Amino acid sequence: MIRFGVLGAGRIGKVHGHTIAKSGKAKVAYVADADGKAAAALAADVGAKVGTVEDIIKAKDVDAILICTPTDTHADLIEAAAKAGKKILCEKPISLTAERTIACLKVVEQTKALLMIGFNRRHDPNFANLEKRIRAGEIGNVELCTVISRDPGPPPVSYIERSGGLFRDMMIHDFDMARFLVGEEFITVHAFGSSIVDPAIGKAGDVDTASVHMITKTGKIAVITNSRRATYGYDQRMEVHGSKGMLRAHNVHENTVEFSGASGISSAVVQNFFLERYSAAYAHEVDAFLAAIDKGTEPRANGHDGLMAQKLADAATESVKSGQAVKIK
Ligand SMILES: NC(=O)c1ccc[n+]([C@@H]2O[C@H](COP(=O)([O-])OP(=O)(O)OC[C@H]3O[C@@H](n4cnc5c(N)ncnc54)[C@H](O)[C@@H]3O)[C@@H](O)[C@H]2O)c1
What is the DSSP-derived secondary structure letter of residue 37?
H
Is there an atom of ligand 1 within 6 Å of 306 CB?
A: no
Is there an atom of ligand 1 within 6 Å of 33 CB?
A: yes
pLDDT surpassing 90 at residue 168: yes
- Tens digit of each residue's pLDDT (9 = 90 or more) over 170-181: 999 999 999 999
Query: Could you give the count of Cα atoms lying within 13 Å of 248 in the half-sphere of its Cβ?
Result: 7
- pTM, 2 dp: 0.95
pLDDT surpassing 90 at residue 296: no
* Entry field: residues in the chain: 329
- Tens digit of each residue's pLDDT (9 = 90 or more) over 47-82: 999 999 999 999 999 999 999 999 999 999 999 999
Distance CA 54, CA 129 (A): 40
For residue 270, what pLDDT is reported?
97
Is there an atom of ligand 1 within 6 Å of 78 CB?
A: no
What is the DSSP-derived secondary structure letter of residue 188?
E
- Rounded to the nearest angstrom, the distance between the alpha carbon of 68 and the centre of ligand 1 is 5
**Taking a C-beta distance cutoff of 8 angstroms, is the pair 252, 277 a contact?**
yes
Ligand 1 atom, smallest distance to 35 CA: 37
For residue 162, what pLDDT is reported?
85
For residue 181, what pLDDT is reported?
98
Is there an atom of ligand 1 within 6 Å of 9 CB?
A: yes
- Rounded to the nearest angstrom, the distance between the alpha carbon of 67 and the centre of ligand 1 is 8
Supply the mean pLDDT for the chain.
Answer: 97
pLDDT surpassing 90 at residue 298: no
